[in-house]
Amino acid sequence: MSIPQKSPVRITIPAGKTAIVNFATNSSAKESFRITDSNGKEVCSGAGTGTGPKVQPSQTFVAEAGGIYKVSIDSYDTPNMILDSNSSMVSNGIVYAQSYLFISEDASDNDYNDTFLNISWFQNNG
Ligand SMILES: [Ca+2]
């Protein structure tokens, strides 16, 4: 069960890991996301408009500092409400990958389809 929470939300990524970020919109309004590290430094952001859903360009970033990251999803400057999930792939005690999925609501109809944001990191890169 996922409880709606107001943007921003917190996630953790280990230091040195590369994260792949996929973003899609399903709205005629401008939707944006922003990921910042524990020092408030922006590590990844994107914005777009479009329905379908409309897949926006994928991005990657390296979790230099590691630890806690803050994920904001906004429509114009208004924070979205977010439903989130988080799953890990673990084998023999090693986390080989972890994936965070967010869907968001930018208004009041609570269909939670205005954005889709997936942030996944992998243990072994290269
Ligand atoms: Ca909506």
Instruction: Tell me the domains of the chain and their CATH numbers.
Output: 5-122 (2.60.120.400)
Nearest-angstrom CA–CA distance, 63 and 121: 9
**Tokens matching residue 23:** 């973003």
Q: Report how far ligand 1's centroid is from the alpha carbon of 104 (Å).
A: 8
The pTM assigned to this predicted structure is 0.95
User: What's the mean pLDDT in 1-8?
Assistant: 93
**Which residues crowd ion ligand 1, with CB under 5 Å?**
105, 109, 111, 114
50-106 pLDDT per residue, tens: 999 999 999 999 998 879 999 999 999 899 999 999 999 999 999 999 999 999 999
User: What's the mean pLDDT in 36-59?
Assistant: 96
For 16, phi then psi, to 5°, come to: 85, -5
Dihedral sign from CA coordinates of 80, 84, 89, 95: positive
